Amino acid sequence: MGKSLIVNKFDNGSAINTYVPADDEKAQAFADAVMDGETTVFTETSKSGSDAVDEARTCTVMYKNADSGKKDYMNIIVPTSKHEGDVEDVFNGKTINGIVIDEVHVIGLRKVAY
C-alpha cells in the first residue's frame, strides 16, 4: 500500500495537507467524496535518506508576507548540522499555502534524541 498527500485548497487561499495510506486513485476518490475545495493528490514514488536517525532538531517556523500580512506556522525536523540561517534560506521567496514568503522567523530550534 502506498502513501499519498492530498493538498486541499480553498477559495480564501488557505490549504490543508492530509496524508492518507492509499495510492493516488483511492486518495483522489476519498478527496472527491469528502473534501470541499480544489484537491490535488501527490503519491510517494520513492524514498530517500535513512530511517535510522539518532539526533535531529525540531524547528517551528513562522513565515509571512509583509505586504498582505498573511502568516502561517510550520513544524519541521532538520538535521543537527543545520542552523537558523539554513532554514530561513530554504523558506525565503517560496510560496506556501498561498503566502509568498518574504519574512521568516525561526521560533524554536531544539535538539532531540530519537
64, amino acid identity? K
pLDDT, one tens digit per residue, over 42-101 is: 987 777 766 665 678 889 999 999 999 999 999 988 888 888 999 999 999 999 888 999
pLDDT one-digit tens code per residue, 15-47: 888 888 888 899 999 999 999 889 999 987 777
* Euclidean distance between CA atoms 90 and 78, whole angstroms: 11
Whether the model pTM is above 0.85 = no
Which helix (H) or strand (E) segment holds residue 59: the answer is strand 55-64
Residue 6, SS3 per DSSP = strand
Question: What's the rounded Cα separation, in Å, for the pair 102 and 69?
Answer: 11
Among left, alpha and beta (phi > 0; psi -120 to 50; other), residue 90 is alpha
